[in-house]
Amino acid sequence: MPDESTHVDSSRMLWLAPLTIAASVAAVLTVREVAIRVVHPSPGFTPLTLGPPILDTILGCLGAILVFAMIVFYPESMRTYRRVAVGVLFLSFVPDVLLATSHDMGGGWPEAPFLMTMHLAVWAICVTLLPRLAMTSHSETAAKPDRLSIR
């Protein structure tokens, strides 16, 4: 657990996981729309078509949620989760750089920063929204005594 006064409320994860995915997809589609208007990519450049960014975002978010769920119960879990997320973020830039340098699918350096911005947006949502909303203090979840009961 992160500390003695906080824990993950598993019932929150039932709505928090879809919220994280939805917010990430919205962010990615916003960046995609800007990219299309700014760089006018080739229609054959699939990383900026509609389907691949949505699918990649959903899969990436599911991975982040699973990693969060596995790490959250260890000491210094938030620090560990954020370190893992930074590492994954930098790894996610590798295909973007390779696309930019190889010019595969008709893309190049003009498109690469937008792809990286998509990854950065999803990373930011996953490392802020997910931990912040999943964690609760014990006082929030403690049973409140019934005023009519005598104890």
Is there a domain that residue 18 lies in? yes
Q: Locate 15 and state its tokens.
A: 């709505």
| 65 found inside a domain | yes
Residue 1 in any domain: the answer is no
Whether residue 150 lies inside any domain: the answer is no
What CA–CA distance (Å, rounded) separates 62 from 88? Answer: 13
| Domain interval for residue 46 | 6-137
- Joined tokens for residue 75: 């000491």
114 domain-assigned: yes
- The count of domains in the chain is 1
Is 151 inside any structural domain? no
User: Residue 149 domain-assigned?
Assistant: no
Q: What is the pLDDT of residues 8-47, one digit of tens each?
A: 777 888 899 999 999 999 999 999 999 999 999 988 899 9
Whether 28 maps to a domain, the answer reads: yes
- Residues β-bridged to residue 7: 136
Per-residue pLDDT of the chain (151 residues; tens, 9 = 90+): 344 445 677 788 889 999 999 999 999 999 999 999 999 998 889 999 999 999 999 999 999 999 998 998 888 888 999 999 999 999 999 999 999 999 878 889 999 999 999 999 999 999 999 988 887 765 544 444 444 434 4
Residue 135: closest CA among 24, 21, 10, 20: 10
